[in-house]
Amino acid sequence: MPVHPAYYIDLDPAAVDAFGNPLRHISQGAYFLAERTLFVEKDYTAQGLSGFARFGAASRDIHQTDCGRGALACYHCLISGRGDDIAGIAVTFNHASDKYRLPNNAEGSQINVEATYRAQIKPGLALQPTLQYILNPNMNPILKNAFV
């Protein structure tokens, strides 16, 4: 049985065909991710710093965000004697597509900053508090920056 792609309505309400129907597009995108160990402790190879970076792009005619990038750094065993704990910090930047931003009078981007610490309490049980700060939530100029 053939697979039919899903079509999505163009974000621009003025984008119509000859019959006045909203234009429809296939959702397309690409994603790139790179991960690397950045530093390893001399006497304990499971302890150290690792990170990753990512970039993604999507169809700007139908998505609020047409591209995004992010980076994460995490350190295993930051506290001596806590070998299974992980501390991390991440930053994500999402760019508003013009077709979303202009008719919605939206901000041009949203930035998320997150810090977390995963404490392994015992095998099978971990506690992971997280703190997030969001600049330009949902790219809406009315909404204030927020801690979550």
Mean pLDDT of the chain: 92
Residue 68, in any domain of the structure: yes
d(CA 39, CA 42): 9
Residue 111 belongs to a domain with what CATH number? Answer: 2.40.160.180
Residue 11, in any domain of the structure: no
Residue 130, in any domain of the structure: yes
Q: How do residues 66-109 score in pLDDT, each as one tens digit? A: 999 999 999 998 887 888 899 999 999 999 999 999 988 999 99
For the range 35-38, what are the long-range contacts, defined as Cβ-Cβ under 8 Å and sequence gap of 24 or more? 38/73
Token pair listed for 129: 């508090």
Total structural domains in the chain? 1
Residue 67, in any domain of the structure: yes
Residue 92, in any domain of the structure: yes
**Is the pTM higher than 0.95?**
no
Q: How do residues 26-75 score in pLDDT, each as one tens digit? A: 988 999 999 999 999 888 778 899 999 999 999 999 999 999 999 999 99
Rg (CA), the chain: 21
Residue 102, in any domain of the structure: yes
Residue 127, in any domain of the structure: yes
Domain that holds residue 114: 29-147
User: Which of 68, 83, 145, 95 is closest to 120 using CA atoms?
Assistant: 83
Residue 143, in any domain of the structure: yes
Question: Binning pLDDT at 50, 70 and 90, where does residue 4 land?
Answer: low
**Are β-strands 146-147 and 65-76 bridged in parallel, bridged antiparallel, or unpaired?**
unpaired
